[in-house]
Amino acid sequence: MIKSKFKGFNFLYVFFPDDFERWSRRFKFNSLLRNNPDCRIIGIRYPISLGTLISNPVHFFSLLFRLRERITTNLWAITFLSIVPVSFVDRNKILSFLNRGICLFQMTIHLKSIEKTDKKQNVLWISAITKFPFCFQLKNSFFVYDCLDELTMNQEGTCSELKIIEDEMLKKSDVVFTASRYLYEKKRIRTRRCFYFPHGVDPVFFCDNKKLHLDMQAVFSIIKRPIVGYVGNIRSWLDFDLLVLFAQRFSMVSFVFVGSIMPDVKQDIKRLKEFPNVFFIGRQEYEQIPSVVRMFDVTLIPFKINTFNFATNPYKFMEYLALGKPVLSPNIVELRQFSDVLVLYESQSEAIEKLERLFQTSEKVELVNKRIEIARRHIVDTFSRQQYEILNKLCSVTSED
């Protein structure tokens, strides 16, 4: 355990997304800052290198001139300069050693500049298990592994290399947070301190954001009801074969997908776009998500049925519940406890059958209210406070009333 006389924390988050506003709504850091003004988030962006300059020069120079960027009072983002692309560095022990030293040196310089006279306890917070070149060498740092998915698995099966990396992380972590009970049972026997914290939601945010922007009003004015909708990244973990079957079987139903389309699923998207009842409306501002989901009659979590998804806890689930919407999902372990307020399936044929049944059954007000009540018991502020208390106790950080 690290003993500290510092007041508050520097949360060093690896790797930090450029779209912080959307990201912070779902992750607990926005809540941590709001409730603990003595804390600071320092987001560590993915390193840039000569490879970045060649592949994406605009991105390279946009970050080169803001290697250390203050976004708000207590929120910073920093970018490391790497020798060569991180993916290549990992394959060469000498380059890996040099890269770790260079990143560590840059981290030290950045922290000194940010902290000045306001020193805080460093908490290295990692939710991915790859590409962390300097993590274990940063002195006097508390290490949090925020385990959100079974990342030792891909969509096809086990990745042995990632399993080795995660084993090292679990051994060296000061504390592990898991997002699902399945992950908690798997990780707790391999680490010293493990806690279960499901994803939370901000019910007030979802209740208050009711007005659709004019452009979205125009979009939904041409989409016929009933509407089945999905919100989230559109990538390989979705069951595109099932979605095609949905579009074929329910030709009078509109299927709306909200989110960024990843490059690896372009052929799957092409298949779906052949159906006139399928709509992709792109990535929307997070403030628009509540009002967009209100337009849905049924919400989807159309994940593939496999080991990777079996262990997850979808962020979008509590967001759907906060709006009282019916949810159709594969039989994910974490969601079974809510089987009285959502519909679970174990095969594609069962999914089609249960979606048809949802259209034939009128929604009861009591069921809508029960979903909203469950979401209100999973408030992100509550979970972030509990995590802060755990860190505060373990790090022995002094605080002022």
pLDDT per residue as tens, the chain (401 positions):
444 455 788 888 876 555 555 555 555 667 777 777 888 888 888 788 877 888 888 888 888 888 898 888 888 888 888 776 665 555 667 777 777 788 888 888 888 888 776 778 888 888 876 555 556 667 678 889 999 888 777 655 567 677 888 888 888 889 999 999 999 999 999 998 999 999 988 888 887 666 777 778 888 999 999 999 999 999 999 999 999 999 999 999 999 999 999 998 999 999 999 999 999 999 888 888 888 999 999 999 999 988 888 899 998 999 999 999 999 999 999 999 999 999 999 999 999 999 999 998 888 899 999 999 999 999 888 898 899 899 988 886 434 43
Asked if residue 178 and residue 79 are part of one domain, the reply reads: yes
Asked if residue 148 and residue 37 are part of one domain, the reply reads: yes
Asked if residue 321 and residue 207 are part of one domain, the reply reads: yes
Asked if residue 214 and residue 141 are part of one domain, the reply reads: no
Dihedral over Cα of 153, 13, 182, 262: its sign? negative
108 lies in some domain = yes
104 lies in some domain = yes
Asked if residue 160 and residue 22 are part of one domain, the reply reads: yes
**253 in Cβ contact with 359 (< 8 Å):** yes
Cis, bond preceding 17 (omega within 30 deg of 0): no
Asked if residue 194 and residue 99 are part of one domain, the reply reads: yes
Question: Which alpha helices (DSSP H) does 67-159 contain, by range?
Answer: 86-89, 93-115
2 lies in some domain = no
Q: For residue 85, what pLDDT is reported? A: 65
400 lies in some domain = no
Asked if residue 315 and residue 209 are part of one domain, the reply reads: yes
43 lies in some domain = yes
Q: For residue 202, what pLDDT is reported? A: 86
**148 in Cβ contact with 187 (< 8 Å):** no
pTM confidence score: 0.86
For the chain, helix, strand, coil in percent to 5 are 45, 20, 35
Asked if residue 208 and residue 152 are part of one domain, the reply reads: no
Asked if residue 35 and residue 62 are part of one domain, the reply reads: yes
> What's the rounded Cα separation, in Å, for the pair 194 and 204?
30
1 lies in some domain = no
Tell me the DSSP string of 302-355.
-B-SSHHHHT---HHHHHHHHTT--EEEE--GGGGGGTTTSEEESSHHHHHHHH
Asked if residue 284 and residue 158 are part of one domain, the reply reads: no
Asked if residue 100 and residue 20 are part of one domain, the reply reads: yes
213 lies in some domain = yes
Range of the domain at 105: 9-200+379-395
CATH number of 215's domain: 3.40.50.2000
347 lies in some domain = yes
Question: Which alpha helices (DSSP H) does 195-254 contain, by range?
Answer: 203-208, 214-221, 240-249
Q: What is the count of structural domains for the chain? A: 2
Would strands 75-78 and 68-72 be described as parallel, antiparallel, or unpaired? antiparallel
Asked if residue 300 and residue 367 are part of one domain, the reply reads: yes
